[in-house]
Structures are given as structure tokens and as C-alpha cells.
Chains A and B, each alone.
Chain A
Amino acid sequence: MARDVAQPAVASGFHWRAVLTWMQQKLGDWPLFVLFAGPNLVLLALFTYWPLLYNAYLSLTSWDLIAPVKPFVGLANYRQLALSAEFHTVLLNTAVFALGTVGGTTILGLALALLLNLRLRGRTLARAILFAPVLLSGAAISVFWINMLDPRYGLVSLPLRWLGLPAPDWLNSPHWAMVAVILVYIWQNTGFSMVLYLAGLQNIPNELYEAARIDGAGAVASFRHVTLPQLGPTTLFVLVVSVINSFQAFDLIKVLTDGGPVNATTTLLFYIYQQGFVAFNAGRAAAASIVLFVLLLGLSLLQLRLGERRVHYGS
């Protein structure tokens, strides 16, 4: 800690101003640039780029997070992942979770956006309420959804009980746990897709509808031939963003099911957490992190291209 070492006071007769002018002439804006951008760039290097490299290195070792040495094992971690039935389940879970949540939030989001784009009284309030869960802590909503999913007294099971049917023990059943987590995710995130679709709907030029009307198109025809095709770029964008978000889901899974029962809801990110912080298998966690990174990188690049297209479309 050399932090408090006193700096020598400015020596008398030392011409600071002259030095500054000289530096300005010699170095231009560089010192200022380092002062302004430097801290953020250093932090990005340390906490964003270095971890990526370190992950790549760790994925080639076998390490329990404690031992002083990290034996180099080459691609063994990747080979184990590729061969392990557990990891296949994890990938399948990730795909099922993505499919269920993205399908649900996109279809419902589109339907709600179409509905709340109509001139209905109170639609502003309705939109506000539908978007609210997006902002809430996933941990907090999971805790009260545990109660909602209670097989005997939970609200979700209520319709079944009214009909006299037995409700499944949602969160403790290997068959229903994934369904339950997807349900809660859809409840939380539909408002997000809805808002993206509402923006897309407002970008459709009115002239197109007028032209359709002049051509004798009714409400249904103008929906089919104007609204739907015009929403194409928005839909692609919503889909890609939603898949990316679903790959990053953690809170709900951790609190609702803790990945269980028997890995039934362990997705890729949850597997990384488990391997790294529960099983202390750094090599495998790092290898799985690289897999997740490659998947997300591909999706992000796709999203970037779509985003550009969408922006050009709008302007």
C-alpha cells in the first residue's frame, strides 16, 4: 500500500504551466484521453476480457479451485462434456427452456401488442401493468411463485381443484418442474416482447393501411397483407433477443428448483454455476462457459445484423 506516500510539494521555481504547454504540444490530447477513458478501459480489460482468456486457459486444466497447481489436461474437459450423458441432458434442457420461453413470450407478446394497439380505454394502464413484472427481482418473484405452485393451496392448481382433478406437485416432479419454470418465466417476460412489438407496430407507415383500404381490403386482409409482413423484422429481432435472454436465465431456476429434481431444470448457465461453485470443478465449468460464450456470440452477431436492418427499416 504505497497509496499514502506523500508527494513532494511543488518545488518553487518549477514552471508547471510551461510543462503543461510543452506536453500539450508534444502529446496532444493523449494525456487527457488516458485520464478520461483509461479507468473504464482498464476495468474492461480486467473484468471482461481477461476472464474470457482465463476461462479458455482454465478449460484446459483440471482444478478444484484450491490446489496450488492446475494440471494441464488438454481438451479432456471438452471431451468429457461431449461424452457425458449429464451434459447432453443439460443441453437438451437449455433448448427446451429456450423453445418454451421464447415461443410463449413471443406469441403472447405479439397478441398483447396487437390487442393494446387498438384504441381501447385504459390501454395505457394495461400496458403499464403487463410490463411491470419485467422490472421485478427474479429471486423475489420466484419465492412467491413457490407458493402459487403449491399443489394443494397454490393459485395455479386452483382451476384443477375446482374441477376435482389432482394437481401435479409442479416443482418436485421431474416431468412438471421444467413446465413450471417456463410458466413463471413467461409470466415475467411477456411484457418485454409486447413492448418491442408495440414499437414495431407503431413503425408501420399509415399509408400502407390506406392503400390496402383503397384496394378494398377489410380488417382481416389488411392484417394479413400489411401488419404481419411488416412485423417480420421485429419478429426476427424479438426471437433472437429472447433466445439470448433465455440462455442467461438464472434466478428463477436457482430459487424455484435449484436445477432439480435430478437435473430436470439444469440449463447451461446453471450447470456452469453448479460445476464451478458447488462441485468445485473449475476446468469443466470453464469449458462449459466457453460453450455458452460461443453460442451467445453467434446469436449476438446475428442480432447485430438484424438490429442494423431493423434500424434502416425504420428510418
Chain B
Amino acid sequence: MAAKVWHVLRQLPWYGLMLVAVFAIGLPLFWVATGSLKTTREIYTFPPVWLPQHPRWDNFSAAWHAAPFGRFYLNSIIVTLADTAAKLFFALTTAYALVFLNIRGRNLVFLFVLAALFVPVQVTLLPNYLTVGRLGWINTYFGLIVPMMPVAFGTFLFRQHFRTLSREVLDAAVIDGCGHWRLLWDVVLPMSRPVAVTVGLLALVGRWNDFLWPLVVTNTVEMRTLPVGITYLYQVEGVQNWGPIFAGALFVMVPVLLLYIVAQRWIVSGITSGAVKG
């Protein structure tokens, strides 16, 4: 008994540090969450008010009306889903072609895909803007979606995985008369779910939060996505009206946080495996 008490006591400092860390990272999130329910007066006081006296749910409708958040949501959802679907599809089909189709020079093609990892999107910003302009796609969904569709890293992940798949299973499927198209969707994809989830989640979170490309390729409020939209709300409301601005920030963050709660393990491993990417 005494030993156990001693053990717990010895660990107390570690628990203390853990609390400090959670506090430091969590406090800003607590501040924005509670702030979204405060009045301006409660936000602009010293000493600070930690919890609103009467939760002011009006802040959310105020934010929703001050900026076209309906449109922002629609745009973000369209762009995110379209790019995620396209990236998954292209990564799957490209990797399949690179592993299971017999052509000469496929290693050269793989090199072409791999080398694209060394060209970060930030470097392609201005030329892609000009290309999109020439295509007449400025301020359109095409302009938002298409330039972000090519996928090098996802192709790489799928290829690595496909090469580990058992050839016997695949050969058996071929003998059963499966064409390549059916083989891909009915046999190979079900054996590659974890990779598909990784590629999908990386694209989902990345596209949802993307700020730079939507900022330059759209130029009217109606075409903005959520991350650009929240900065618009901030400009409209100025520094006076913080309640609705906090509410607007939550509009952007809550969908990702919900996804995180549902798929935490997948997201953490997916995002960190993305670290391999340049």
C-alpha cells in the first residue's frame, strides 16, 4: 500500500506537466469556443470573463448573415469532395497501371510521378494562375478544383502497397475472367482500404484548410471557400464584434474536429505519413 502511494506521488510532477501542456494547447480553443457565446462587453474586459453569463447563441446567426457562410460551406464542400474523389481515383488508377500493366518504360513513368513530389504547390502558384486564366477558369469551380487534382504522393503510397499484394490472389482473379477494371475495383481496392483511407483523409483535410490557392484564384465573395471566407468576415466585422468572428472561426474548424473525433487514429497516422512528402 505504501509503495503504491509512493508510486503515485512520484508520478505527480509528470501529471502536473501533462496538465500544463494540455492547458497551454487547449486554452485558445476553449477561448474561441466560449467566446463565440459571449457579448462584446464580456470579451473586452479585464480581468477576463471565462464563461459567458448568458450564452449568446445570436452570435452564430449574426456571423452567418454578416458573410455568406452558406455559400462558403457549399464551395468548400464541392471543392473538397471533388478534389478528394479525383485524387483517390487518379492515385488508384495510376498506381494500378504502374504495378499491374505490362508495358516497357513504366519505371520511367514512375520516376515522372515521383519527381513531382519535389515541386511544392507554392512554387507553381503564379504560372498555374496564368494557366487557369488562359483557360477562362478564374473565379470558377474548375479553377478551384482542377489544378489541385494531380496526385503524386497518393500514387506513390498505393504503388508501394500494391507491390506487396499476393500475386496468387490476383492471378486467380484473372483466371476467373476478371478484366483489369473489375480487378482494380473488386479485388485490389478492397485489399487496400487502409491506404485509401490515408490518401483520402490527407486530401480531405488538406483541401478543406487550403487558403493560398482559393485566395488567388477566386475574386468574388460568392466563390470564396471557408478559410478565405473567415478572413472576409473578420474584415466586415472589424475588431469590434468578436462574438460573431469567434462563431465564424468555429464554422470553419468544427467539421474537421468532428472528423477527428470519428477517425482520430486514421488521421494521425495519415497526416504523419504525409510527412514523407516534401
Seen from chain A, the residues whose Cβ lies within 8 Å of a Cβ on chain B are: 28-30, 32-33, 36-37, 39-41, 43-44, 46-52, 54-55, 58, 65, 112, 115-116, 118, 120, 122-123, 126, 128-141, 143-148, 152-153, 155, 158, 161, 187, 190-192, 195-196, 199, 237, 241, 244, 248, 250-251, 254-255, 269, 272-273, 276-277, 282, 285-286, 289-290, 292-293, 296-297, 299-301, 303, 307
Contact = CB atoms under 8 A, between A and B. Distances in A.
B51 interface: no
A130 B90 contact: no
B205 to A, nearest CB: 6
A245 to B, nearest CB: 9
Contacts of A301: 118
B26 A41 contact: no
Contacts of A250: 122, 211-212
A120 B126 contact: no
Contacts of B147: 47
B9 interface: no
B190 interface: no
Interface string B122-134: 1111111111000
Chain A interface secondary structure, helix, strand, loop or mixed?
helix
A292 B94 contact: no
A130 B14 contact: no
B256 A48 contact: no
Contacts of A299: 278
B32 to A, nearest CB: 4
B231 A255 contact: yes
11 contacts: A32-B101, A37-B94, A37-B97, A47-B124, A51-B127, A52-B123, A120-B15, A143-B231, A155-B48, A192-B275, A303-B278
Given A241-B275, A293-B123, A187 B25 contact: yes
B162 interface: no
A140 B239 CA distance: 15
B31 to A, nearest CB: 6
Interface in B238-277: 239, 242, 245-246, 248-249, 252-253, 256-257, 260, 264, 267-268, 271-272, 275-276
A191 B25 contact: yes
Given A48-B116, A52-B123, A136 B272 contact: no
A158 B27 CA distance: 13
A33 B104 CA distance: 11
Interface of B: 11, 14-15, 17-18, 21-22, 24-29, 31-32, 35, 43-46, 48, 90-91, 93-94, 96-98, 101-103, 106, 109, 112-113, 116-120, 122-131, 146-152, 155, 180, 205, 208-209, 211-212, 215-216, 226-228, 230-231, 233-234, 239, 242, 245-246, 248-249, 252-253, 256-257, 260, 264, 267-268, 271-272, 275-276, 278
A43 B278 CA distance: 19
A130 B268 CA distance: 11
A131 B116 contact: no
Contacts of A51: 119, 123-124, 126-128, 131
Contacts of A282: 126
Contacts of B124: 47-48, 51-52, 55
A41 B109 contact: yes
A216 to B, nearest CB: 21
A43 B90 contact: yes
Contact of A153 (B21, B43, B127): B43
A97 B26 CA distance: 24
B112 A300 contact: no
Which of B212, B228, B248, B275 has most A Cβ within 10 Å? Answer: B275
Given A54-B130, A120-B11, A41 B94 contact: yes
Contacts of B226: 137, 140
A276 to B, nearest CB: 4
Given A40-B93, A115-B14, A137-B252, A29 B103 contact: yes
B165 to A, nearest CB: 17
Nearest to B30: A155
Contacts of B212: 250-251, 254, 273
Chain A to chain B: the 4 pairs with minimum beta-carbon distance, closest first: A51-B127, A51-B124, A300-B278, A43-B150
B134 to A, nearest CB: 11
